[in-house]
Amino acid sequence: MVDATTLKEIFDLIGIDLDKAIAVSEDNDPFECEFEITPDEFLSFAELDISGEDSHALVNGLSNAKRAIDAQIDLVFQCLHIRPGVIRRHKLEILNDLGIVAPRIIRKIRDARNLLEHEYKCPTKDQVEDAIDIATLFIAACSRTMHLFPKYLYIANGDVEPDNIHLFKRSVHIRADWAEEKLTAYADIVGEKPEKFIEVTNKEPLYYDLLRLFVLSHIEKDQTQAIGTLKKYL
């Protein structure tokens, strides 16, 4: 049985070199989390609002576009069980860091929110339409990532392991249990039964850093920086 209580111990056991490591995910499943009023419904409300031209309709349209964005943000956090207080960063910064949403969309969201929250001006119809477009892009970006999300993540040395994860000889295998709000890591060595070595809950910063690898491997983005962040635990 693997006797390890920290990420460093298990990486040392497997011989993972983070300078050469890769992360690969598999077994994508849909999340079963939703709100009574969905982000898409708030978008529909906003579209109905801008059929009018008066200030009441325009303010409502912008407010519902903002609600659509806020609902989508909270939905992502609920599905992935992210606790902003553990990470101590703004929610939009967390989404950007995870790679779920492009930075340019984040900037546009901030601009749209500031228009209503800080300037207290009646928006123009063009501004409301822009806000609705931004909300639509944001929801679509989140939905593409969250529609089917991986349950397993494998971290291995990319210079020695084959392309097929099922042929990896030595890897760290991380299983997500989203309902239990935890990630469970195993030492995976060919010829040996995988043994649980550590459970990481969403109350720990490590949960967030491993989650980022789940996202980046899922959307096939560069993982170099995300893998590098694990060095602080080693």
Query: The CATH number of the domain where 55 resides is what?
Result: 1.20.120
137/158 same-domain check: no
With respect to residue 213, please indicate whether it lies within any of the assigned structural domains: yes
Counts of helices then strands in the chain (DSSP H, E): 9, 5
With respect to residue 136, please indicate whether it lies within any of the assigned structural domains: yes
How far apart, in whole angstroms, are the C-alpha atoms of residue 222 and residue 169?
A: 23
127/109 same-domain check: yes
Q: Are the beta carbons of 76 and 142 closer than 8 angstroms? A: yes
In this predicted structure, the answer to whether residue 198 has a pLDDT above a threshold of 60 is yes
Domain end call among 146, 166, 192: 146
In this predicted structure, the answer to whether residue 62 has a pLDDT above a threshold of 60 is yes
User: Residue range 86-112: average pLDDT?
Assistant: 80
With respect to residue 2, please indicate whether it lies within any of the assigned structural domains: no
With respect to residue 1, please indicate whether it lies within any of the assigned structural domains: no
In this predicted structure, what is the pLDDT of residue 3?
47
Phi and psi, residue 20, nearest 5°: -120, 5
In this predicted structure, what is the pLDDT of residue 45?
96
Domain end call among 83, 118, 146: 146
User: Residue range 169-198: average pLDDT?
Assistant: 83
Domain end call among 146, 164, 181: 146
In this predicted structure, what is the pLDDT of residue 169?
86
Q: Structural domain tally of the chain?
A: 2
With respect to residue 127, please indicate whether it lies within any of the assigned structural domains: yes
221/152 same-domain check: yes
Phi and psi, residue 121, nearest 5°: -115, 150
Domain span at residue 212 reads 7-30+148-233
With respect to residue 204, please indicate whether it lies within any of the assigned structural domains: yes
82/128 same-domain check: yes
For 28, what's the count of Cα atoms within 13 Å in the CB-facing half-sphere?
13
Which strand (E) or helix (H) includes residue 185? strand 182-189
22-26, 194-198, 204-208: which range is least confident on average? Answer: 194-198
169/201 same-domain check: yes
In this predicted structure, the answer to whether residue 233 has a pLDDT above a threshold of 90 is no
Q: Are the beta carbons of 65 and 108 closer than 8 angstroms? A: no
User: Residue range 35-39: average pLDDT?
Assistant: 92
User: Residue range 88-95: average pLDDT?
Assistant: 85
Better-predicted residue by pLDDT, 37 or 115? 37
In this predicted structure, the answer to whether residue 69 has a pLDDT above a threshold of 60 is yes
User: Residue range 171-196: average pLDDT?
Assistant: 83
In this predicted structure, what is the pLDDT of residue 219?
77
Q: What percent of the chain has pLDDT over 70?
A: 94
How far apart, in whole angstroms, are the C-alpha atoms of residue 221 and residue 35?
A: 29
219/124 same-domain check: no
Residue appearing with tokens 């407010």? 63
